[in-house]
Structure 1
Amino acid sequence: MDIAILLLALIICISVIAIKFNPESIEFPFSVKSQLFTAAERQFLNTIETAVAGEFRVLCRVKLCDLVTLKQNTNKKLAKSALVKAGARHVDFVLCNKDDMTPVLAIDLVYGSGKNGHNTQRDFFVSGALDTAAIPHARIKARGGYTLSEIQECIETKLVPLRRRQGKIPFSHRNAKPSVIQQKKRPTRPLSQSRKYAA
């Protein structure tokens, strides 16, 4: 009698589990999004891809925890808290080395009114994490029109240490005449003013 009751209870449990995990009984309340990026994001992405001229791969909406890793011997409590925070944050765009996909530059679009969830104020956790990991971070105000030179200048400003290690000419200087670059590197003072003070 006891065995019959146990078998019946077991059959009921198996039936409940089978119903619960039956793929046909699971509901997915989703539909396709009308667009993956906002108009400003699409325009910005196109401009970035043109600006880097194929030197870097451009990734979009990368989780912070995919860009940084915990240091060895980190306190367990601190590590858990940091991972939770990093998992809840993302960077809008990341430039990566084409050869090994190493992160080179993180870029965030900043909306003045907090549109579409973008923070108007600097997230010090994101900035601190990227700074500690030695990943440059650029925050660019979202607006209706970007010029190629503006984006190139912004990128090159953040990539100065990388360019020094590479010994390469920045994007913004590649098509410029040597005399123009030289003038930027060596600012001059008015001769009349110099003579005045020399006298």
Structure 2
Amino acid sequence: MEFAIILLAVLICVSVLAVKLNDNKIAFPFAVKKQLFTAAERQFLQLIEQSVGDEFRVMCRVKLIDLLSLRSNTDKKIANSALLRAGGKQVDFVLCDRKDMTPVMAIDLVFGVGKDGHNTQRDFFVSGALDTAAIPHVRIKAKGGYTVTDIRECIEAKLIPLRRRQGKIPFSGVTAANPSIIPTNKRPTRPLSASRRAVAA
């Protein structure tokens, strides 16, 4: 009982001190941001959510080190170097399985010019790390005019291995029995090149 009273007194003292420091603008010089996402990020989040429906959960701004883990037999020096490099990396969106939150796909929004930390050039460390972990990685050029169908086709183009495991398309490829997965007359392409139109990295 006495220990509980002492602990409560300590917590009260710490709280009072924290409030006092905050009043003097020393320890906590923060204010809430007006917007958590940019207009482009909000638009794409809405498009992605509509395109995947109830199948996946969409997580935003996921750190690479939260998405991947080191292999158990990794050399210590290599592991430290990889963790150091991965520490400052993140992906814009991650599709997760609704049942167990297993990562299914990573999606990055790419601007034509540098903005808010979004690199116009591919980050080969991020792409290589995701590829090694067998997580599909899609990079979508930020521009207006995309429809939910456009984004869905881009996502489905990278989910072909998953769809095959699910039995939704045959291993021999897309057939007339599966026209809604990848339309044969309009294959999605990546919107990062003038010669291509949709997404698949």
SS of aligned partner of 1:91? strand
Segments of 5+ residues of structure 1 without an aligned counterpart are: 1-17, 170-176, 187-199
Alpha-carbon distance, 1:159 to partner: 0.2
Cα distance in 2 for residues equivalent to 1:102 and 1:185: 30
Letter of the structure 2 residue corresponding to residue 143 of structure 1 = K
1:85 Cα deviation (Å)? 1.4
| TM-score, length of structure 2 as denominator length | 0.73
Indicate the residue corresponding to 1:59 in structure 2: 59
How far did residue 117 of structure 1 move?
1.2
Unaligned runs of 5+ in 2: 1-12, 170-175, 186-201
Matched, 1:150 2:133: no
* SS state at 2:153 partner: helix
Closer, same or farther: CA 110–84 of 1 in aligned 2, 3 Å: same
Structure 1 match to 2:99: 99
TM-score when normalising by structure 1: 0.73
What is aligned with 1:133? 133
- Which runs of structure 2 are paired with 1:1-199 in the superposition (5 Å)? 22-23=17-18, 24-25=20-21, 27-168=27-168
CA 69–149 in structure 1, closer or farther in 2 if over 3 Å, else same: same
Q: Which has the higher contact order (CA 8 A, sep 6+)?
A: 1
* Higher relative helix content: 1
The secondary structure found in structure 2 opposite 1:51 is helix
Task: Provide closer, same or farther for how the CA distance between residues 141 and 185 of structure 1 changes in structure 2, counting only shifts above 3 A.
Answer: closer
Mapped partners of 2:113, 2:106: distance in 1: 22
Letter in 2 for 1:121: Q
How far, CA to CA, are the matches of 1:69 and 1:53 in structure 2? Answer: 28
CA RMSD of aligned residues (A): 2.3
